[in-house]
Structures are given as structure tokens and as C-alpha cells.
Amino acid sequence: MTASLELRHIDIHGHRVGFRGAGSGPVIVLVHGMAGSSTTWRSVLPALAEKFTVIAPDLVGHGASEKPRGDYSLGAFASGVRDLLVALGHERATLVGHSLGGGVAMQFAYQFPERCERLVLASSGGLGDEVNLLLRLLALPGAEYALAVGCNRWIHDAGVSIGGWLAHVGLQPTPNLEQIWQSYGSLADTETRTAFTHTLRSVIDVAGQRVSAADRLYLAAAVPTLIIWGDHDKIIPVEQGRATHAAIPGSRLEIFAGAGHFTHCDQPDRYCEVLTDFMATTPPATTSASEWQARMIARTS
């Protein structure tokens, strides 16, 4: 893997996929959240690449990857991550998923257990019903038309200008606000907005999160699992992180005091320290598909 963290592209199944990759050593895949991209990891990528082979994809429909009319389910995203690893010549990896990316990481471990060495769930989706009200409202029929009006380039550029002015007078936006604003700005593009809507409705409806891994968390006991959450998360409540820790025997829980939904942006140094320690002190899982099957059978017998 090269030392460059610049965005690159690779053609997979006829679709252009963007990713960033650097470093050498054990492979870590960083999976971003909804309406995000690989740029969300810029605060932690350089430090992690000093010790690991780090791959940060733009999921299909996000960032610099193509946005086809197609499948935006967790299973499809997980298959896309698997295909990228295969295309880059990597057999196995530690999956680090943030928000929607946590759901993708869990789905990857479920679909391809022989390829998942460790699992890191940061402010992860798919672990409970509750989620921010705005996301529930955006899943309503017709909400895409409101998005088309509210998420336009003029409004976003005006916000960038205001942010620059605030920084000039010493009022720096918080990392969480910057990430939310970047995600908002990406929705000014029609194709990205359409992909966002399809992705959102595959995991969220007006009642909350509609995809849950709760009934399969027992399988995660076979994989070293780290759970990271900010205690000021306003998107997905930290209680879901605590409940998941209790449900996965042997898992680790790290609560970042004062951090919001984007822990890797709020406290990047601690994020890298915690992840590096987790990698150093846990052996990679070697679960085969047959062992995964045996665990499922034992659960039902």
C-alpha cells in the first residue's frame, strides 16, 4: 500500500469506487456513516497509517464513488467492502464502522466471518430503535422534495462563507458541526441526494431504526469487539452502546466524555490510542464459515 492518503479510484463490477489507502501492517477498513465519505477520517488516517494498512472507502452512492440506481442495503454495502478488499489483494481485515458504517461492519462480519478479524462499532447504527428525529422525518414519503429545496448549493456555500467568517473572528465551529455541514453540503448534488434517500429508507422509518443486529449479537462474541461512543451523541444515544457492550461477552466499551456523534473528529488522538491498543492487545479472529454455522445451530438447539 502506498504512503499517499489522496483519493484514488478503482473499477469494481463496472462501477467507479473511490477510496483512500496508506500504510503497512494489519489491515483496518474505516467505514463512514450516512451522507459521509472517506474524508471524515482525515483526522485519524495519518496516525493510523503509521502502524497499519488503512483503507477508507467511499461507499457506493457516497463521496467520489458512483451513485447508480441500485441496492443501498447494508448487505450490498458489506459486499462492496468485501469486493474492494479482494480487488486490493487483502484477505482479512479489522472493520471500523461509524454510524451507518457500524451497521455495514456488523453485516460484513455476519456475511463474511472468515474475513473479519476484529469489529469496532463507533456510535453505530443497527443497535436499537431510537435515532434522531430529523432522520426519522426525512424517511417519510415526499421528504426528498423538501431536501431538494433545503439542500441546495447556494445555501451550503453561504454557510461555508459564514463559517469562514466566524473562524476569522475566533469562533471555530465544532468538529461535529463541521461534519454535519459537510454531509449536508453533499446533498446539494441530485444523484447523492437520491442515493441518500434510498440508503436512509433502507435502515430508518418514522418509528426509528428499522434494522437491528440485536438478535445476532451473540455471534460477535467470536470476534474481538470494541464499542466507542460519545456521551453527548445527539444522533444515536450512548445508552445503545452500553446495552450492546452488555450483550456481547468480552467486548470493550470506551465512552468519550464530552464527545458527540463523531468521536473520531472530536477526540482524534484518543480515538487512535484506543484503536491502536485494541489492535495490539487482541488476537485476530479466525472464525470460519463452518464455525459460524455451528454457533448458530447451538443457539437454536
Active-site position among 32, 62, 261, 264? 261
Q: What is the CATH number of domain 8-131+211-300?
A: 3.40.50.1820
* 15 noted as active-site residue: no
Residue in 128, 98, 97 with CA at minimum distance from that of residue 223: 97
8 Å CB contact between 41 and 32: yes
Q: Give the pLDDT confidence of 47-88 residue by residue, as tens digits.
A: 999 999 999 999 999 988 989 888 989 999 999 999 999 999
Active-site position among 186, 233, 245, 264? 233
Q: What pLDDT score was predicted for residue 158?
A: 39
Angle between helices 74-88 and 100-111 (to 10 degrees): 70
What CA–CA distance (Å, rounded) separates 174 from 166? Answer: 12
* 99 noted as active-site residue: yes
Give Cα 264 distance to the centre of its chain. Answer: 11
The tens place of each residue's pLDDT in the chain, 301 residues long, gives: 444 588 999 999 988 999 999 999 999 999 999 889 999 999 999 999 999 999 999 999 998 898 988 898 999 999 999 999 999 999 999 999 999 999 999 999 999 999 999 999 999 999 988 888 877 877 778 766 666 655 654 334 433 333 443 344 344 456 665 666 566 556 667 788 888 888 888 888 788 888 888 777 877 788 999 999 999 999 999 999 999 999 999 999 999 999 999 999 999 999 999 999 999 999 999 877 777 777 777 776 5
Q: What pLDDT score was predicted for residue 177?
A: 59
What CA–CA distance (Å, rounded) separates 129 from 203? Answer: 10
Q: Which residue has the cell 434494522?
A: 211
Q: What pLDDT score was predicted for residue 156?
A: 43
8 Å CB contact between 59 and 31: yes
Q: β-strands 53-57, 208-209: how paired?
A: unpaired
Q: What pLDDT score was predicted for residue 172?
A: 46
Q: What is the pTM of this model?
A: 0.86
Q: Give the pLDDT confidence of 36-45 residue by residue, as tens digits.
A: 999 999 999 9
Q: Where are the domains of the chain?
A: 8-131+211-300, 134-203
Decide: helix, strand or coil at residue 285: coil
Q: What pLDDT score was predicted for residue 260?
A: 93
* 62 noted as active-site residue: no
